[in-house]
Structure 1
Amino acid sequence: MPRLICPLIIAILVSTGVRSAQAIPNFQKVFLTTYIDEHKDQEFTETVKKKVKCLVCHQGKKKVTRNLYGVQLARILDKKKDKDFKDPATVKRIEKAIQSVGKLHSDPKDSKSPTYAQLIEKSKLPGGDLAALQKEPTEKEAEERAEAEKQPFKEAKDDEK
């Protein structure tokens, strides 16, 4: 009997595991290809791939709230519509979104702040410090970000890139 229960429990856990976020790994793959795979800082590369993972775009353990970088991507991408990674048009759309957001200033109120792409180039996470990203956002932050996601995406102006 115990021989049957253990495999059954494992099968249930595996089958219910990560299904709710099927599109997200595709976004992450393109992010890694765009910024991380060829990054000059090997330690940063390993940190992003092994520790940061979903926190590139999200904040906290629940992965419901996006950080400021993730909010910008959410304005362009739709995890339901952009999940067909076999479709070259979908991959192109994800690539374009990641590149467009990379051109934005990390602080939208400061035109002298580094762009998200510049932060990554300097081995910094686009969404902020890892320790801060691991903490759950305050209720106010979560509400503000959810509201910000509803706003239309604004491309970086040529003089701001």
Structure 2
Amino acid sequence: MTRLSCALIAAALLFGASARPAAAIKQFQDEWMKLYVEDNSNEDFVKAAEEAKCFICHQGKKKSNHNPYGEHLEELLSKKDKKDVEKIVKSIKAVAELKSDGDGSPTYAELIAEGKLPGGTLEEAKEEPKKD
């Protein structure tokens, strides 16, 4: 079992494994922006995050599609959590510690610190997800 799998299992146990798929929830975006954008001095990152909006977690035209970052958050949050600010913040911080693309890749927090959106570029996020 990889470190990523262990971290995801631990986070699911910590926050309850009963989370349902999350649609674009304004409260989730608001808390993300408070954590990573409000006091960020990187103007390019702030602009990218403000332009990306829902695409920070979602991909393509349907808001039921998530990029990898959003998939991790979806495992921890559901619509019923939209008023639970503490759980939202804990979930965002938990996902930040996960590797963005498996072993050897930077964490989502490291990507954000580098001024990159955690789910990829806005252009990538606007593309429809590839069917398996």
For the aligned pair, the TM-score class normalised by the smaller chain equals 0.7 to 0.9
Unaligned runs of 5+ in 2: 1-22
Counterpart contact for 2:48–2:122, Cα < 8 Å = no
Q: Give the alignment of 1:10-159 within 5 angstroms.
A: 24-49=25-50, 51-79=51-79, 81-84=80-83, 90-108=84-102, 110=103, 112-140=104-132
Instruction: Give the CA deviation at 1:115.
Output: 0.5
Counterpart contact for 1:59–1:136, Cα < 8 Å = yes
Per-residue Cα deviation, 1:108-160 (whole angstroms, up to 9, x for no partner): 2x2x21110110111111011221111111222xxxxxxxxxxxxxxxxxxxx
Counterpart contact for 2:48–2:117, Cα < 8 Å = no
Per-residue Cα deviation, 1:34-72 (whole angstroms, up to 9, x for no partner): 1111112112202211x2000000001222210000000
Q: Which has the higher contact order (CA 8 A, sep 6+)?
A: 2
Quote the residue 2:9 is aligned against: none
**AA matched with 1:115:** T
Counterpart contact for 1:39–1:121, Cα < 8 Å = no
- Considering only CA atoms, is the larger Rg found in Structure 1 or Structure 2? 1
Q: Quote the Cα distance in structure 2 between the aligned partners of 1:43 and 1:122.
A: 11
Counterpart contact for 1:57–1:66, Cα < 8 Å = yes
Could you list the structure 1 runs, at least 4 aligned residues long, displaced by more than 2 angstroms after superposition.
none
Counterpart contact for 1:72–1:101, Cα < 8 Å = yes
**AA matched with 2:86:** K
Counterpart contact for 2:69–2:119, Cα < 8 Å = yes
**AA matched with 1:128:** G
Give the paired residue count: 110
Counterpart contact for 1:26–1:83, Cα < 8 Å = yes
Instruction: Give the CA deviation at 1:83.
Output: 2.0
Superposition TM-score, scaled by structure 2 size: 0.78
Identity %: 45
Taking only aligned residues, the RMSD between alpha carbons, in angstroms, comes to 1.3
Q: Quote the Cα distance in structure 1 between the aligned partners of 2:119 and 2:44.
A: 18
